[in-house]
Chain A
Amino acid sequence: MTAQDLHPPGKYRLRIADYVALAEAGAFQGLRTELIEGDVIVMSPQFRPHGMVKQELYDRLRDALRALGSRFRPVTEFSLAIDDHNLPAPDVLLTSEPMGEGAVPLASVALVIEVAGTTLADDLGAKARLYARARIPEYWVADVKGRVVHQLWSPGGKGYGGRREVAFGESLVAETIEGLVAGTAGL
């Protein structure tokens, strides 16, 4: 026996299968939840300022992608299968595979958007690292209070290498999707 044989107790991280089984058993009692790093995270109730920014971004992206004839389609709050311990439901994501069974496959995702009310620090911190580690090409965080969109791209192991801030009112030009521009006037 060597010292390396002995490990202190560790935290069990729920797998997607565990999370789904709990959901089916009614464990979440109607709460909106995500699976993040093996924890079930309760999502905030969605109030109008947050909801409207999300809805407007969706509408503008839908129109812009349609006009481009893009294979990507925006969807709101679909579960995204990142790995066995992470099943977030971003506010908006662009996927080339909106149809089909189960969660949105990671490989189909071009852009993820979180609309941040009170959760800005987390959306720019742990969430950004999660999405970057998953190599999601581009990530936008719309800061409702600060009235600015944090645009992040060039994912790596530690986070996103590219970033800029776009004030509400200016145009959002996607870095990684050719021709995609979304206005933010009136958000």
Chain B
Amino acid sequence: MNVTAQLPLNTMPLPLRLRVEDYLALDRIGAFEDYAKTELIGGEIFFMNAQHRRHASTKMKLYDALRDALGPLNSRLVALVEASIEIPDHSVPEPDIVLTSEPEGEGLVPLASVALVAEIADTSLAQDLGRKAVLYAQAGIAEYWVVDINDRVIHQLWSPQGEDYAGRRVIAFGQSVTAETIDGLAVETARI
């Protein structure tokens, strides 16, 4: 039997996973103009619709709370709202909030600079606790918060291991959230 006869054949259609550069090329030609927001997740592009006020105002309140909490810590981390992160080779998520040590500079936020990401979930809860959690855990992002505005709780996840986070707790709105991986960072959720 020759070598070529041993190559595996597709039995099902095999979608090609788009790379970061493919996604950016599509963005440059205006492919995503009709959408409020898109993300590349594991080589697939997802779009999100326009944000409603409840989502947007929760996001800004959490941003303000994080910014106020980081200030006195003299932390090198800066909170950014909706900045895209490059997770090589097939993902460019745009979390609602990211804490990065490299807020300046060109292009996408480098993965190595990311200490924590937070997503505000209304209709996207299943994706945020599912596909997104897998992505962030696999990328080794140290801590991940999912703010569920329907059930008024925060899912706090840390210690990424493989496809999941080993540490997790659920905190009701009104209690304070203490970061597991950033010394001294605590946020009063009464404010959100």
Contacts and interface: CB of A to CB of B under 8 A. Distances in A.
Interface of A: 1, 5-12, 14-15, 17-18, 21-22, 25, 27-28, 31, 33, 36, 39-45, 47, 117-119, 121-122, 126
Contact of B46 (A11, A27, A118): A11
A88 to B, nearest CB: 10
Interface of B: 4-5, 7, 9-16, 18-19, 21-22, 25-26, 29, 31-32, 35, 38-39, 44-49, 52-53, 122-124, 126-127
A8 to B, nearest CB: 4
A21 B26 contact: yes
A9 B9 contact: no
Contacts of B49: 6-7, 9
Contacts of A118: 9-11
A129 to B, nearest CB: 13
Contact of A42 (B14, B44, B122, B124): B14
Give the interface centre of B16, B21, B52, B123 by most chain A CB atoms within 10 Å. B16
Contact of A12 (B38, B53, B122, B127): B38
Query: 8 closest A-B pairs (Cβ-Cβ)?
Result: A12-B45, A40-B16, A39-B15, A8-B123, A118-B9, A41-B13, A118-B11, A27-B22
Contacts of B46: 9-12
Contacts of B32: 12
B123 A22 contact: no
